[in-house]
């Protein structure tokens, strides 16, 4: 057996280029041990009904498979080494059998046994390789989830951030945008966004941390991944300010839902940056209500329908700097109708309509949806 082990150790590096290195250190010890255990176990099997590998020997070859994955090699090198060892073993044993006068018929089942045995070793190593692959993938996913959670809560030290991002396998961008997707529309979100994003599931929503889109192509790719998901995309922020991006994104998503319920069109996805004014106004609804009560009080003299028409006209008049034609087009009415309504507004507000501060406050409360 010692001669066969030595020949296998000699031939494997010649047959498998990945193992063409000095037989020393942990690599050499592991190869010697694996070959010796395989030969010893093989000699114990004839005449028994035992499985090819017992629990201990199976662990040995599973660990060899795990070691291949940790070393960054494909499994083909190890399986090639097994095949090389099987050929050497059969060649050596056949030579001994012929020298001792065994019949050629005896060599056929011997060869079958050797290669069936090698299949068992290979299967154990494949299993170990897959286990290690899954374990490391699961560990990386756990670290990615932890990193996303820390960033979203603002609980990561800036000095520790590069190391945490490297452990999670995530290239840390200079600026991050938070994407909020309702859970019922989040199926396949991780795959759609790819590995460049961190995705974390919450109770009723999925949160994704994506690198800030700096090119039109990146924005198009993001929109393609989010199309049909009723998502909101937050403003880019440095890693330390990710919680602010999340807060603003949630506000924008709620605002988009309210606007849609009132019959207004909904972008897909919704970008916070495109709705900054509305989000700012909605963030302090109490103050806007108080201001609206004061600034819209002159309209209390009119009935509900007239009040709504005048408020809408006033909003567009302020928005278009008093130009009647754009106001008429926005309201789908004749310019004379705009003039008539403005006369009513002038009568109600008097000289206040010429006060820049009053105009600004009126525009704010009307933009916030007050009528």
232-233 β-sheet, strand order:
198-201, 205-211, 176-182, 232-233, 270-271
Q: Is residue 34 exposed (0-12), middle (13-18) or buried (19+ Cβ within 10 Å)?
A: buried
Partner residues linked to 178 by β-bridges: 209
Q: To 5 degrees, how large is the angle CA 219–CA 223–CA 228?
A: 170
Residues pairing with 188 in the sheet: none
CA-based angle 346:348:354, to the nearest 5? 45
pTM to 2 decimal places: 0.56
- Please tell me the distance from the alpha carbon of residue 102 to that of residue 108, in angstroms, as a whole number: 12
Query: Which of 71, 56, 52 minimizes the C-alpha distance to 122?
Result: 52
**Cα end-to-end span (Å), the chain:** 95
Closest CA to 119 of 177, 171, 51, 184: 51
pLDDT tens for each residue of the chain, 371 residues long = 788 888 888 888 888 888 777 666 676 777 778 888 888 888 888 888 888 888 888 888 898 888 888 887 888 888 998 899 899 999 988 888 889 988 878 888 888 889 899 999 999 999 988 888 877 767 778 888 888 888 998 877 777 788 888 888 889 899 999 999 998 888 888 889 988 999 988 878 999 999 998 888 998 999 999 998 999 999 999 999 999 999 999 988 888 887 788 777 888 899 988 877 777 777 677 777 888 888 999 999 999 999 999 999 999 999 888 889 999 998 999 999 999 999 999 999 999 888 888 888 888 888 878 88
């Amino acid at each position: 057996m010692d001669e066969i082990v030595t020949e296998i150790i000699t031939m494997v590096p010649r047959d498998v280029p990945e193992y063409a290195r000095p037989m020393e250190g942990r690599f050499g010890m592991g190869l010697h041990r694996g070959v010796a255990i395989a030969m010893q176990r093989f000699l114990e099997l004839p005449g028994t009904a035992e499985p090819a590998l017992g629990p201990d020997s199976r662990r040995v070859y599973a660990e060899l498979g795990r070691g291949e994955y940790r070393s960054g090699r494909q499994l083909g090198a190890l399986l090639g080494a097994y095949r090389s060892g099987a050929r050497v073993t059969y060649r050596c044993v056949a030579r001994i059998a012929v020298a001792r006068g065994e019949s050629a018929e005896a060599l056929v089942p011997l060869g079958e046994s050797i290669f069936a045995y090698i299949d068992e070793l290979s299967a154990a190593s494949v299993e170990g390789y897959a286990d290690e692959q899954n374990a490391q993938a699961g560990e990386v996913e756990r670290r990615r989830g932890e990193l996303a959670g820390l960033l979203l809560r603002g609980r990561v030290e800036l000095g520790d951030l590069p190391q945490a991002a490297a452990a999670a396998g995530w290239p840390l961008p200079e600026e991050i945008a938070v994407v909020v997707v309702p859970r019922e529309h989040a199926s396949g979100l991780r795959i759609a966004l790819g590995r460049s994003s961190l995705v974390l599931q919450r109770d009723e929503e999925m949160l994704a941390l994506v690198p800030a889109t700096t090119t039109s192509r990146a924005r198009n790719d993001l929109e393609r991944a989010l199309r049909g998901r009723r998502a909101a995309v937050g403003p880019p922020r440095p890693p330390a300010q990710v919680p602010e991006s999340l807060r603003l994104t949630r506000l924008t998503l709620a605002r988009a839902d309210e606007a849609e319920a009132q019959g207004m069109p909904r972008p897909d996805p919704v970008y916070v940056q495109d709705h900054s004014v509305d989000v700012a106004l909605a963030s302090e609804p109490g103050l806007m209500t108080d201001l609206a009560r004061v600034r819209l009080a002159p309209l209390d003299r009119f009935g509900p329908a007239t009040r709504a028409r005048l408020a809408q006209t006033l909003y567009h008049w302020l928005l278009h700097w008093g130009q009647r034609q754009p106001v008429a087009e926005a309201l789908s009415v004749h310019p004379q109708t705009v003039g008539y309504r403005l006369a009513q507004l002038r009568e109600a507000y008097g000289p206040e309509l010429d006060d820049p501060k009053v105009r600004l406050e009126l525009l704010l409360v009307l933009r916030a949806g007050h009528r």
